[in-house]
Amino acid sequence: MPSALFTPIKLRELELANRIVISPLCQFSAVDGNAQPWHRMNAMHHLASGTGLLILEATAVEDIGRITAGCLGLYSDENEAALTQLVADARTMSNTPIGIQLSHAGRKASSRPTWELWKGPNLTEEEGAWTPVGPTGEAYTEGWPEPKELDAQGLTRIVDLYVDAARRAQRCGFDMLEIHVAHGYLLHQFLSPMSNHRTDRYGGSRENNMRFPLEVIAAVREAWPAEKPIGVRSTGRDFNEGGLELDDAVVFARELKKLDIDYVVPSAGNVAPGMKLPKIEPGYMVHFAERIKREVDIRTMAVGLIVKPEQANQIIESGQADMVAIGRAFIDDPRWAWHAAVALGEENPPIPPPWQRVNPKVWPAYKMARNEKSDLEAGMGHMRRE
Ligand SMILES: Cc1cc2nc3c(=O)[nH]c(=O)nc-3n(C[C@H](O)[C@H](O)[C@H](O)COP(=O)(O)O)c2cc1C
């Protein structure tokens, strides 16, 4: 019997071999939005780990929608060619489905990558700063760029950009899309009362705040092949007083269900300064996914400090979520899924054939390498060929 974590799941026509998903992880290493050798290396590492799905990082639908100058894009033919090549290379090595997260940074664009934040959060003019767009002309906070407020034409343009990017993603060969409505980027900026102070039909009430993200998502769903899934990274809570709460996330998920969205992965925060964070402990956001799943009857993916195989398995087994998205644990250990399979007693850990010699069935030092008491240490080591 496979463990719950290693039980397959189907999203529309897409089969995931297990419930482990590599969460989108910005690399801030693109040039003009184009994937580089670094992205290929990163994707290959992750694809070799035997997860059910890999979702590539937040990828901007226009150049001024990049968080940093190093973010991936899917707004030019060159961007499309680079990602087409990456997907083609990946297909020669792995059957793991590959998705991509479509994003627009809105007023949080023109920032520096994490490793340069010590210089300050935003690019300077000399470094090529640009004017972002936002729901209103309000900056994220003092010192951040003042965005240009999106007018009716601007909103239509953004919807079209998402649709174009989705069509490009289809031509690249991606298996699924995730749409980013979290972490304070453009669609979250519309959704949250912390950042949306519009007075037209796109702001001022929960219904109005949801309107633009839902219009974008509906347009993308329409443009994306019917057999391929779309997930939404939503916001479980803003963690700001007066911001989005879990009740809002449930209402939003109901709307996503109406749009035939395949799963919701509720994350949180970063739409406005002054967050009051809860205790950040393993699985601290799993209850978002659990409540949405229970009340909305939509599939959910839990995310946030999911680190241990037993913890991940428990989330699936107990029905709190249908999948787990894991980020940093995979940067730390790109073989996390193999190790999880062994820890959970799976018969066949998902190790690619050329690397099967590290399967614990044939490598007596496996446990030693994991700092566990091994047969070798116990003096019973012998080479087996199975
Ligand atoms: C380096 C890094 C880059 C990230 N990039 C993205 C991203 O592109 N899109 C996104 O939705 N979340 C992004 N996140 C958030 C992760 O996907 C994930 O939600 C978060 O790290 C919590 O999961 P973890 O505890 O398993 O790492 C990023 C996180 C890290 C550490």
What would the pLDDT profile of 226-283 be if each residue is shown by its tens digit?
A: 999 999 999 999 999 999 999 999 999 999 999 999 999 999 999 999 999 999 999 9
What torsion do the CA atoms of 148, 152, 153, 159 make, to the nearest 10 degrees? 90
Identify which of 23, 232, 237 to mutate to test ligand 1's pocket (most ligand atoms within 8 A of the CB).
23
Q: What is the pLDDT confidence band of residue 386, given thresholds at 50, 70 and 90?
A: very low
Q: Is the pLDDT of residue 344 over 80?
A: yes
Q: Whose CA is nearest to atom 3 of ligand 1?
A: 25
* Mean pLDDT computed over 302-321: 98
Task: Point out the ligand 1 atom lying closest to the alpha carbon of residue 307.
Answer: 26
Q: How far apart are CA 108 and CA 111, in angstroms?
A: 7
CA 180–ligand 1 middle distance (angstroms): 12
pTM of the model: 0.97
346-357 average pLDDT score = 94
Residues marked as catalytic: 185
Mutate to test the pocket of ligand 1, among 20, 26, 286 (most ligand atoms within 8 A of CB): 26
382: pLDDT strictly greater than 90: no
pLDDT at 1: 84
Instruction: Let me know if 375 is exposed, middle or buried by CB neighbors in 10 A (0-12, 13-18, 19+).
Output: middle
Q: Cβ distance 145 to 129 under 8 Å?
A: yes
The C-alpha atoms of residue 237 and residue 61 are separated, in whole angstroms, by 25
Q: Which atom of ligand 1 is nearest to the CA of 58?
A: 8
Q: Atom 18, ligand 1: which residue's CA is nearest? A: 327
Per cent of the chain over pLDDT 90 is 95
Strand 14-16 with 9-11, pairing: antiparallel
For the segment 110-148, what is each residue's pLDDT rounded down to a tens digit?
A: 999 999 999 999 999 999 999 999 999 999 999 999 999
Q: Which mutation among 25, 112, 180, 232 tests ligand 1's pocket best, with the greatest number of atoms within 8 A of CB?
A: 25
Cα 24 to averaged position of ligand 1 atoms, centre (Å) = 6
What pLDDT was estimated at residue 372? Answer: 84
pLDDT at 373: 79
Going by alpha carbons, the residue nearest to atom 2 of ligand 1 is: 25
Decide if pLDDT at 179 tops 90.
yes
Strand partners for 303: 325
Looking at the domain covering 4-349, what would its CATH class be? Answer: alpha beta
Task: Show the ligand 1 pocket: residues with CB < 6 angstroms.
Answer: 23-26, 57-58, 101, 180, 182-183, 233, 267, 303-306, 326-329
* pLDDT at residue 190 in the model: 98
Question: How many other C-beta atoms lie within 10 A of the C-beta of residue 241?
Answer: 10
- pLDDT at position 378 is 66
Q: How far apart are CA 92 and CA 174, in angstroms?
A: 14
pLDDT surpassing 70 at residue 380: no
Mean pLDDT of 364-369: 91
Per residue in 19-39, pLDDT (tens digit) is 999 999 999 999 999 999 999
Whether residue 334 is predicted with pLDDT greater than 60 in this model: the reply is yes
Identify the pLDDT of residue 10: 98
Residues of the chain with CATH 3.20.20.70: 4-349
Q: What percent of the chain has pLDDT over 70?
A: 97
Residue-level pLDDT at 379: 63
User: Of ligand 1's atoms, which has the minimum distance to the CA of residue 178?
Assistant: 11
Predicted local confidence at residue 96, as pLDDT: 97
CA of 59 to the centre of ligand 1 (A): 13
Q: Which residue has the higher pLDDT, 288 or 373?
A: 288
Q: Summarize pLDDT for 163-174 with one digit per residue, the tens.
A: 999 999 999 999
Give the pLDDT of residue 38.
98
Residue 385, pLDDT above cutoff 50: no
Sign of CA dihedral 36, 18, 261, 305: negative
Spacing, Cα 136 to ligand 1 middle (Å): 26
Q: Whose CA is nearest to atom 6 of ligand 1?
A: 25
Q: Is the pLDDT of residue 159 over 90?
A: yes
Nearest ligand 1 atom, CA 328: 27
Distance 325 CA to ligand 1 centre (A): 9
Interval between CA 184 and ligand 1 midpoint (Å): 13
In the chain, the N- to C-terminal Cα span, in Å, equals: 21
Q: Which atom of ligand 1 is nearest to the CA of 325?
A: 26
State yes or no: pLDDT of 221 exceeds 70: yes
Angle (CA) 366-2-302 rounded to 5° is 90
**Alpha carbon of 376 to ligand 1 centroid (Å):** 38
**Does residue 49 have a pLDDT over 80?**
yes
pLDDT score, position 124: 95
3-state DSSP of 36-92: CHHHHHHHHHHHCCCCCEEEEEEEECCHHHCCECCCEECCCHHHHHHHHHHHHHHHC
Token pair for residue 158? 């953004």
